[in-house]
Amino acid sequence: MLELLVAATGAFDVETATRAYLDTLQGPARAKSDAYFEGGYWLLLWGTLVGVLVDWLLLRFRIASAIRGFAERVSKRAWIVTAITAFAYTLIGSIVTLPWTIYTGYVREKRYDLLDQDFGAWAGEQAIGLAMALVLVPLVVAAIYAVIRRAPRSWWLWGTGVIGLFMLVGMVLGPVFIAPLFNEYTELEAGPLRDRIEAVAAKHDIPAEHIYVFDQSKQNKRISANVSGLGPTIRISLNDNLLERTGEDEILAVMGHEMGHYKLNHIWWIVGIMLGLFALGLFVTSRVAPVLIRRFGERWGVREVGDPASLPVLAICLGLWMLAMTPAQNSLIRWAESEADAFGLDAAREPDGFAKVAMRLSEYRKIEPGALEEMLFFDHPSGATRVRMAMQWKADNLADPQMVVPDEGYLESE
Ligand SMILES: [Zn+2]
């Protein structure tokens, strides 16, 4: 990675320095990045519509009520009937939407050169995900319907509690039992890089034994890192792509960002956002679903909301709600991400490393969206926003900031 240091003529200008970075992504590379990300907006809409269509078919052809009828012949216990119905619902839904899953998760990713697995390996991971869903969805659904039957008016509130409980348990256990099913997690190797990361971590009281590396290169080339777990299992993980493909300044900048999530307790913020959206969504569902069932229930073979055959009705209501809430959800999460960015710039003091990494994320995220577009569709600040923030940090925090013009080819370098 070559860099050309340009001696600042006069004062360091934030906009000029930002533009120098943004201009390193041009032509076909920028068009490809925009096309991939903008396509995602439509996938969001179509994905919800595919789900709604499948749910509607399950109602229209009385498949949901047939499944519940079968379950009632297996057991007299309401929770077992619900769990069997939810199991079959999940299985049938996954099979019917398989072409959509293959297109969005495999074909399209391959087309944009963002997936390095062959079909067998990819499908194997999908199968693990389905197996987990077939265990978890019946449990969650059985718990929610138990609440619906006991509290027909206020079940949305108790249902949110049920979801929250499963979410918390899943977050504590996730890094220990789920993540290793897909990737191998190892300690970050000793050496100068680890020393530098530990030095930053120590300054913020983050135990360095909580830093892991995982082998995401077996799935794709994307560089990423994350904070996962809760309580005793909380940890920062960075992937091998970040280690292999970027420079030490970039790795440190990313780790600063993740330390921000860790120190600022963003996991709780995310849990709060999600539960708030679920609470509102279940409330709306608890008011709309009975109206739909009164109107169409006889035709669908659905008796009432507490009848597990109503599962597709609840799924339609909640699915449309979550789609409508996407901009709010994105903006609330983006706010936390922006906080982590600010923390990371202060902690790592690598504004140019941060700017370079922000540019690299253009592999899968549009670099320079309009303001409204960023508000609606971005759950992280855009590359342009991040580069500008880094350059502003430089102007505010360095005694003699110099403009760095990254070498043209650095975005393609491995
Ligand atoms: Zn983040």
350 belongs to a structural domain? no
Catalytic residue among 55, 249, 250, 258: 258
Catalytic residue among 250, 307, 341, 350: 341
137 belongs to a structural domain? yes
**Alpha helices, H only, 151-205:** 155-173, 179-182, 192-203
220 belongs to a structural domain? no
239 belongs to a structural domain? no
Structure tokens at 46: 């179509």
pLDDT (tens digit per residue) in 244-299? 999 999 999 999 999 999 999 999 999 999 999 999 999 999 999 999 999 999 99
Distance 381 CA to ligand 1 centre (A): 9
What is the pLDDT tens value at each position of the chain, 414 positions in all? 444 445 445 589 999 999 999 999 999 999 999 999 999 999 999 999 999 999 999 999 999 999 999 999 999 999 999 999 999 999 999 999 999 999 999 999 999 999 999 999 999 999 999 999 999 999 999 999 999 999 999 999 999 999 999 999 999 999 999 999 999 999 888 899 999 999 998 998 887 777 899 999 999 999 999 988 888 888 899 999 999 999 999 999 999 999 999 999 999 999 999 999 999 999 999 999 999 999 999 999 999 999 999 999 999 999 999 999 999 999 999 999 999 999 999 999 999 999 999 999 999 999 999 999 999 999 999 999 999 999 999 999 999 999 888 876 778 744
Q: What stretch of H or E contains 403?
A: strand 403-406
- Alpha-carbon distance of 349 to 283, in angstroms, equals 45
Q: Are strands 235-239 and 225-228 parallel, antiparallel or unpaired?
A: antiparallel
Which residue in the block uniquely carries the two structure tokens 């191998």? 184
Distance 319 CA to ligand 1 centre (A): 25
> For the chain, what is the domain count?
1
Q: Are strands 211-214 and 235-239 parallel, antiparallel or unpaired?
A: parallel
210 is in an annotated binding site: no
Q: How many helices (H) and strands (E) does the chain have?
A: 18, 6
Number of residues assigned to the chain: 414
Distance 126 CA to ligand 1 centre (A): 25
- Domain span at 135: 47-181+269-329
Q: What is the pLDDT of residue 209?
A: 74
Q: Residue 116 catalytic?
A: no
Q: Residue 258 catalytic?
A: yes
Distance 235 CA to ligand 1 centre (A): 13
Distance 242 CA to ligand 1 centre (A): 14
302 belongs to a structural domain? yes
295 belongs to a structural domain? yes
30 belongs to a structural domain? no
Residues with a beta carbon under 5 angstroms from ion ligand 1: 337, 340
Helix (H), strand (E), coil (C) string for 250-293: HHHHHHHHHHHHHHCCHHHHHHHHHHHHHHHHHHHHHHHHHHHH
380 is in an annotated binding site: no
86 belongs to a structural domain? yes
pLDDT (tens digit per residue) in 46-86? 999 999 999 999 999 999 999 999 999 999 999 999 999 99
